[in-house]
Amino acid sequence: MSNATPKTMYEKLWQTHLVEEKAGETPLLYVDRHLIHEVTSPQAFANLRFHNRPVRHPERTIATMDHNISTRSIKIDAAGEGAANQLRALEKNCKEFGIQLFGMGHKNQGIAHVMGPELGLTLPGTIIVCGDSHTATHGAFGALAFGIGTSEVEHVFATQTLRQNKAKTMKIQVNGHVGAGISAKDIILAIIGKTGSAGATGYVVEYCGEAIEALSMEERMTVCNMSIEFGAKAGLIAPDQTTFDYVEGKEYAPKGEVFEQAVIDWKNLRSDADAIFDTVITLEAKDIKAQVTWGTNPGQVVSVDGSVPSPDNFSDPVEQESCKQALEYMDLKAGTKITDIQVNKVFIGSCTNSRIEDLRAAASIVQRYQGQKVVANVDAIIVPGSYRVKEQAEKEGLDKVFTDAGFEWRLPGCSMCLGMNDDVLGAGDRCASTSNRNFEGRQGRGSRTHLVSPEMAAAAAITGHFVDLNA
Ligand SMILES: CC(C)[C@H](C(=O)O)[C@@H](O)C(=O)O
Ligand code: SF4
C-alpha cells in the first residue's frame, strides 16, 4: 500500500478522525479535545440537562474563564452582575457534569487559546474544538482546530464527535526570511492584506515556507490565530522539532516512551511533497514590513512607512466604498502618513499576542526608549494571556519594566480585545491594539482600533504615534 495518493496535512488529520461518512450525510469526526469558556457553553449545558444526557467524555473537555472577567480583580463579580452570572453558571455546570475548570485565580486559568498550548492540552495530530472562532490558534501545532457554535458544543458534549463538511485546501508559502524586527503579527497581517479579509473563505489554510519554519511556537500561534480573520476554517503549520521541543514536558503532554512514539507519528503529519492544494499563494518574506491596519477589517492594512489610502486607490467599487466608510469611521484622511497617526490608548494582550514572547518583545522596545515613559495623553495596559504567562513575566521582571515606564500591569483575560468586560474603550478613543479584530465598535462603541504587533504597540505607547522602528 505504499505510494498512495499524496495527501495534505489536512487530509491526513481528516482521515484519522473520520468516524463515519455516508452518502447524503455530513461526515462525522472524532474530537480529541474540547475547550470551553463561559460565553458559548451555558445553552449547551442547559440542553444536555433538558434531555437528561451526560457529557460522554468529561475528561476530554477543559473549561476556563476568560471573556467576562475583570483584569483588575479576581472577584467573580468585578466585571458586573451579568458577567458574574455567566461565570457562576460555568462553575455550576462544570461541577455537575464532571468537567475540570480553571476558574478565577486558578494557576492554570487563561484565555482558552493561550492556556491549552502552554499546558500541553494542545497536541499535534489531534482535533481540537471550542465554541470560539480563534480556536484556529491551536493549528500552530499541526492540530486541526476550529471554532464551533453552541449547538455543536452540545453535540460534542453528548457524543465527542462533530459533523463537518470537508473544506478546500490553501497553501500559503512565505519564502525566505523576514528582516530584523518584523514579527509574526506583521507576517499574518501582510498575508491578509494580500488575500483580503474574505480571501480564505471555505478553506483550511496551511502556512509553510522558510519564514514560517523559522518561527517559534508562540509566533506560529499568532499566525494561525488570525486564520479566521480572512475567512479560513482553520490554519495549520506542520509540526517539527520546534513543536516537539515546546510540547515536551508540558503538564498534560504525553511523557517518556509514549511521547517518543507520538513524535514518530507526528513527523508523518506534514503534507506530502507532491500533495495538491486547491489554491496556492506565495509571499516573499523580505518584502514584509511592519504593518498597521487603517480600516475596519484586518485586510485594510498598510506598511508603517506608507500612508492611509484613498478610495481612488482601489479599482473594485466595493473596496472603494468600504475604504470610504472605513476612513469616516476611523476619522482618517487619505494620504496621512501612518507614522503621523496619534493614539490615546494602547492594549497589549489577547489570544493573538499575550504570550511570554509577546511581552518580552514589547518590553525590549520599552527598554530601547531608555527611561522614556508612556506619553502623557496615552493610557497603556498590558494583559498577560494567562496566569502562567503572568508568573513567568514577573519572574523575568517584565512587569517592572512596564510599570516603571507607566504601563498598567493587569490580570489575565480577554480584556480590551472585545467589549465584554470592564476594559472598554470610549467613543472616539484610538487604540494601538495587538488583538485580531478591528471592526466598528469591537473594543467599545465608537472606538477605533489599529491592529499592530506588540513591538509597534509599545512604541506607540511611548511616543503617542506609530513608529517605523527600522527607519
Ligand atoms: C465570544 C466568542 C464567541 C467570540 C469568538 O468566537 O471569537 C470571541 O472570542 C471573539 O473573539 O469575538
Ligand atoms: S482574546 Fe479576543 S479573540 Fe481571543 S478569545 Fe478572547 S475575545 Fe476572542
**39 C-beta closer than 6 A to ligand 1:** yes
Evaluate whether 421 touches 146 at the Cβ level (below 8 Å): no
Beta strands in 65-217 (DSSP E): 100-102, 127-130, 144-147, 161-163, 168-175, 203-208
pTM assigned to the model: 0.98
| Amino acid present at 216 | S
295 and 269 in a common domain: no
Q: How many domains does the chain have?
A: 3
149 and 14 in a common domain: yes
52 and 96 in a common domain: yes
pLDDT for 43 equals 98
Chosen domain end from 287, 313, 329: 287
The answer to whether position 231 is within a domain reads: yes
250: how many CB neighbours lie within 10 A of its CB?
A: 16
The answer to whether position 470 is within a domain reads: no
Provide mean pLDDT across the span 434-449.
98
- The reply to whether 414 sits in an annotated binding site is yes
With helix as H, strand as E and coil as C, how does 111-130 read? CHHHHHHHHCCCCCCCEEEE
**350 C-beta closer than 6 A to ligand 2:** yes
For every residue of 29-61, DSSP letters joined together read EE-SEEEE-TTTSHHHHHHHHHHT---S-GGGE
| Per-residue pLDDT tens digits for 36-64 | 999 999 999 999 999 999 999 999 999 99
Task: Give the span between the Cα atoms of 260 and 54, in whole angstroms.
Answer: 34
pLDDT for 298 equals 98
431 and 321 in a common domain: yes
174 and 139 in a common domain: no
249: how many CB neighbours lie within 10 A of its CB?
A: 10
Query: What are 288's three cell numbers?
Result: 514584509
Residue 129 dihedral angles phi and psi, to the nearest 5°: -130, 160
The closest alpha carbon to 246, from 141, 170, 349, belongs to 141
pLDDT band at residue 30 using 50, 70 and 90 as cut-offs: very high
pLDDT for 1 equals 47
Provide mean pLDDT across the span 136-150.
98
Q: What is the CATH number of the domain that holds 32?
A: 3.30.499.10
The closest alpha carbon to 187, from 448, 296, 195, belongs to 195
Q: Which residues pair with 380 in a beta bridge?
A: 346
Which residues have a Cβ under 8 Å from the Cβ of 159 and sit 6 or more positions away? 56
208 and 182 in a common domain: yes
Kindly provide the ipTM of the predicted complex, given to two decimals: 0.99
| Amino acid present at 74 | I
The answer to whether position 468 is within a domain reads: no
The answer to whether position 3 is within a domain reads: no
The answer to whether position 471 is within a domain reads: no
The answer to whether position 4 is within a domain reads: no
Tell me which ligand sits closest to the C-alpha of residue 347.
2
pLDDT for 90 equals 98
Range of the domain at 446: 291-463
Evaluate whether 413 touches 385 at the Cβ level (below 8 Å): no
pLDDT for 195 equals 97
443 and 299 in a common domain: yes
The closest alpha carbon to 122, from 255, 246, 258, belongs to 246
**132 C-beta closer than 6 A to ligand 1:** yes
| Per-residue pLDDT tens digits for 337-366 | 999 999 999 999 999 999 999 999 999 999
| Per-residue pLDDT tens digits for 99-114 | 999 999 899 999 999 9
425 and 343 in a common domain: yes
Chosen domain end from 242, 259, 287: 287
Evaluate whether 106 touches 390 at the Cβ level (below 8 Å): no
Q: What is the CATH number of the domain that holds 282?
A: 3.40.1060.10
255: how many CB neighbours lie within 10 A of its CB?
A: 13
pLDDT band at residue 3 using 50, 70 and 90 as cut-offs: low
- The reply to whether 130 sits in an annotated binding site is no
Chosen domain end from 137, 163, 189: 163
| Per-residue pLDDT tens digits for 279-308 | 999 999 999 999 999 999 999 999 999 999
193 and 107 in a common domain: no
200 and 261 in a common domain: yes
Q: How far is the CA of 417 from the centre of ligand 2 (A)?
A: 6
143 and 174 in a common domain: no
Q: Which residues pair with 290 in a beta bridge?
A: none
145 and 131 in a common domain: yes
| Per-residue pLDDT tens digits for 126-137 | 999 999 999 999
The mean pLDDT value of the chain amounts to 97
pLDDT band at residue 4 using 50, 70 and 90 as cut-offs: confident
| Per-residue pLDDT tens digits for 178-234 | 999 999 999 999 999 999 999 999 999 999 999 999 999 999 999 999 999 999 999
Residue of 347, 418, 423, 434 to mutate, ligand 1, most atoms within 8 A of C-beta: 418
Q: How far is the CA of 233 from the centre of ligand 2 (A)?
A: 17
